[in-house]
Homo-oligomer: A and B are copies of this chain.
């Protein structure tokens, strides 16, 4: 993603200077650790580009972009505790490196720091609008995580519910990143709404892409084994759609496979994939993904002006959603 380099470099340079040095160090070290674990920094970059659609002094939006990245990482720290995930970006997650209490408390500090960075954006006129958008999104992300946890215990998740869950858990913050950038730049309400909708639809599309890649991805391009979601019985678009479309015998077989504690992994993956194939699930998932992608691009077209920055958003969306399958 060479075309993003300018914004990426701007953000990384800012981030490097934000080392927290408060006391006691045990509270702030995990914040520095997780913030420096890397990642693609998609969300803060979206904030910067959205700002640039309307204004050229993009460095002013850096504290907001950083707030978005802090919030995202706060949610990762707490989610990793809830999901008992020991790895994050190939390194130890915060609670695995320290302990659960440290993960809870440092995460809390990150959420408060998020608001502290909001206050560093030096346009007091926009504080109230920015915070309202952010508070709404913060709650949506919590709601999405709660739905996701609820789904683990259910076998009857409907597609509509699943789409709502990924919208809240993943897409809302991506939409918010763009919304904040455009509000901060003083954009018209209709342009703010178009960019927010662009982000939400890209976010849903991105999560569907993730579901597709986990089962149908090219291992060489994706860089990991496929089938992890199937092994873990994760409720993804693929399995929910399959259960919805399956004939009784196929549904029975899928449920047996998901309940079995003895079946071997490779066999489970192969059998589920065969059912997916019979039901044409891959094509249906790609179709759904591309529908959201098209919706997103139509919203982007509707934004007035800022052609260069819009082109950057279009290319970024394309890169995120490239067909590695």
Contact = CB atoms under 8 A, between A and B. Distances in A.
Interface string A101-145: 100110111011101100100001001100110010011001101
B143 A115 contact: no
Nearest to A74: B108
Question: What copy number does this chain have within its complex?
Answer: 2
A128 to B, nearest CB: 5
Contact of A139 (B26, B113, B143): B113
Q: How large is the interface on A (under 10, 10 to 19, 20 to 34, 35 or more residues)?
A: 35 or more
A66 to B, nearest CB: 14
A247 interface: no
Nearest to A118: B131
The A interface, classified by DSSP as helix, strand, loop or mixed, is helix
Contact of A128 (B82, B104, B127): B127
Given A135-B112, A146-B26, A105 B78 contact: yes
A106 B26 CA distance: 24
B135 A105 contact: no
A122 B135 CA distance: 16
A46 B47 CA distance: 39
Contacts of A27: 142-143, 146
